[in-house]
Amino acid sequence: MSQKKYYIETYGCQMNVYDSELVGGLLNDCGYSITNDISLADAIFLNTCAIREKAEETVNNKLDSLQSLKNNKPGLLLGVLGCMAQNLKDDILQTKPYVDVVLGPDSYRKIPEIINSRNNSMDHYVDTRLSKFEVYDDMFPSRREGINAWISIMRGCDKFCTFCIVPFTRGRERSRSIESIENEVKKAVQQGFVEITLLGQNVNSYRTSGGDFASLLEQVAQIKGVKRIRYTSPHPQDINKELIEIMSKYENICNHIHLPLQSGSDRILKRMNRTYTKQEFLELVSMIKNIIPGCVLSTDIIVGFPGETESEFEETLEVVQKSSFNSAFMFKYSPRPGTKASEYTDQIDEEYKQSRLESLINLQRDITLLENQKNIGRTIDVLIEKDSKRSSLKWSGRTEGNMWVIFDKDPSYSIKDIVKVKINSAHGVTMFGDIVHSLEREKNEAA
């Protein structure tokens, strides 16, 4: 009999990408191999997101489209995993009775049991119990691409921002031991990964008896073969001077911080339960830029939070301007049932949300271009990641700040090398340049 195959589609954030790789590892142990062709699969999993209404809509549409596949292949196992599974639980089965399995983010250890008992029983299986302890410490993910390895170091969130569903879908904060993280980093390096991204819903709330986030970062930075380290997503409240100093001390920790602002108005920040003021956020930005000059910042912003006035929105624009973020993820507020903000009675009309989003996107587009243009004439470290989509004669790679650069290939280097690239121009969100050879560099430096 040929080997059974699974297909997995991932929605939402990098934490889900990591979890899909964990699930892949479990399925490999059960004798399943991965396929990218959904029609060949014996088991299909959707690892879902619930952060905004649209995220759930996308999954619902996908599930609708899978019904006919399921009807034609009765033995096919269809599983819904992740945050939307956790959020909707059995309700998913009411509208979609052809779904077999619903598992929340803390229930993936159940997968082998489900697969193995599948032959005897075709019953539905739902498990959405959240755990205070589950960190999948002993499991190894089955990774796919070869540059960056995502490594989850903590799970859950205790911050309860009033707009956010994550504390409900991911449960309470818990951290993995430093030892198990180090083991996973070493294994990823052995497998050829050169960049490590440490992940958590609130990555810098990491805390174990072995140390806090800053000390974990320092230990990972010392592991041989790790060319670059990133982390996401931190909460501004948990960023301290010690962390920034560790970042500046180690060359392989990227000088890039994703620093979610959400809003620039103190009244809205308070209503969001974000625990910092506009002033404190701006002071944090200065502290970071003082210790790490040129540190690249990116952010997340929500427009149209309940009660947000036009002038409060303008304060957000002002903070965006002052912070000079290199890039930003920008969203219209989406009410999530069960969260505090969804019950506020002063919800903002869609047309205002849309026009505020457009103004913000336009402003950020100009800032991104301006920040990239500042690099023209500078020589920056770029990690070569792949062939450029524009030409097979060019490579594209990322800066420490996570921005893309395109440049001519050079036979003395290969993918996964870090090279010096002199930036010549910037268009949209991309920069263009040329590799600088060490000899030329020496000449430039001597001149």
The amino acid present at 314, given as its one-letter code, is E
Angle at 239 between CA 233 and CA 244, to 5 degrees: 105
Shortest distance in whole angstroms from residue 15 CB to ligand SAH = 9
Size of interface with ligand F3S, in residues (CB under 6 A):
14
Q: Are 171 and 132 in contact (CB under 8 A)?
A: yes
Return the number of the residue (50 or 272) whose C-beta is nearest ligand F3S: 50
Shortest distance in whole angstroms from residue 49 CB to ligand SAH = 9
Distance CA 117, CA 444 (A): 68
Q: Are 328 and 320 in contact (CB under 8 A)?
A: yes
In 3D space, the residue among 140, 207, 198 whose CA is nearest the CA of residue 172 turns out to be: 207
User: Any contact of residue 153 with ligand F3S (CB under 6 A)?
Assistant: no
* Partner in contact with 52, chosen from ligand F3S, ligand SF4, ligand SAH, none, beta carbon below 5 to 8 Å by kind: ligand SAH
Tally of helices (H runs) and strands (E runs) in the chain: 14, 21
User: Any contact of residue 10 with ligand F3S (CB under 6 A)?
Assistant: no
User: Any contact of residue 323 with ligand SAH (CB under 6 A)?
Assistant: no
Q: Of the ranges 9-17, 259-267, 279-287, 437-445, which one interacts with ligand F3S (CB under 6 A)?
A: 9-17
Return the number of the residue (169 or 208) whose C-beta is nearest ligand F3S: 169
Exposure of 131 by Cβ count < 10 A (0-12 exposed, 13-18 middle, 19+ buried)?
middle
Choose, by CB under 6 A, the member of 7, 8, 15, 101 that binds ligand F3S: 15
Shortest distance in whole angstroms from residue 430 CB to ligand SAH = 24
User: Any contact of residue 235 with ligand SAH (CB under 6 A)?
Assistant: yes
- End-to-end distance of the chain based on CA atoms, in angstroms? 69
Shortest distance in whole angstroms from residue 55 CB to ligand SAH = 10
- Per DSSP, 40 falls in state G
Choose, by CB under 6 A, the member of 23, 41, 46, 49 that binds ligand F3S: 49
The residue with tokens 């004669």 is 393
As given in the structure block, the two tokens for residue 344 are: 């506020």
Distance CA 112, CA 117 (A): 9
Shortest distance in whole angstroms from residue 51 CB to ligand SAH = 5
- Can you give the binding site for ligand SAH, defined by CB under 6 A? 51-52, 163-164, 166, 201-202, 233, 235, 260, 262, 300, 302, 331, 333-334, 336
